[in-house]
Chains A and B, each alone.
Chain A
Amino acid sequence: NAGVTQTPKFQVLKTGQSMTLQCAQDMNHNSMYWYRQDPGMGLRLIYYSASEGTTDKGEVPNGYNVSRLNKREFSLRLESAAPSQTSVYFCASSKTRATGELFFGEGSRLTVL
């Protein structure tokens, strides 16, 4: 019962470096999401993908790109990391609106020096 799997769990980057956060779900869900969580800010939506082949911006998309590689995988890329992108990143998925339940990965803690 893997659910939503994110890698890596921890990463330290230097300013200007690039990296990709990987996310995969094995629940045959249509929709996938990337959130960031900062102290006192709650969860903020970066990008989401309502279905395979589509992606849309969320509240804080600047500095990020995403790829919905297939139904299972949704990756988040930082092309040129900045200290402001230090955060905990969560990937989530949902099947349909009927249940409204988001299933979250365990999170990826990213530090940009």
Chain B
Amino acid sequence: EDKVVQSPLSLVVHEGDTVTLNCSYEVTNFRSLLWYKQEKKAPTFLFMLTSSGIEKKSGRLSSILDKKELFSILNITATQTGDSAVYLCAVENSTSGTYKYIFGTGTRLKVLA
């Protein structure tokens, strides 16, 4: 059975701290791994990763994938209160020309001023 596991489940930090969120997976026919940020309502897209060892970066956020060890990390440096959200990891499973995304349970990050 396909599985995506995120850790920690929740995290409380102070502004300026650096955090690392983890996502491990067991998925047949892996195609890609995606990170999303969910605040009040709908998740919003952060990164898509397909190749091992290539870091994706956007401002203070960065992410990398290790396809050998089957995990990804999402780093946030110099955290701000606006980073408070649930961070979701999803893995794309592709079978017979169709594809679907399996989500982890998310990591709830709270950044204190």
Q: Give chain A's interface residues, CB within 8 Å of chain B.
A: 31, 33, 35, 40-45, 48, 50, 54, 56, 58-59, 90, 97, 99-107
Contact = CB atoms under 8 A, between A and B. Distances in A.
Nearest to B89: A42
B88 A42 contact: yes
B105 A41 contact: yes
Nearest to A97: B99
Nearest to B1: A59
A42 B3 CA distance: 12
Contacts, number: 64
B88 A102 contact: no
Contact of B98 (A50, A59, A106): A50
B100 A45 contact: yes
A101 B105 CA distance: 18
Interface residues of B, number: 28
A44 B42 contact: no
Given A45-B102, A97-B94, A104-B42, 4 more contacts: A41-B105, A42-B103, A43-B103, A102-B101
A40 B48 contact: no
B31 interface: yes
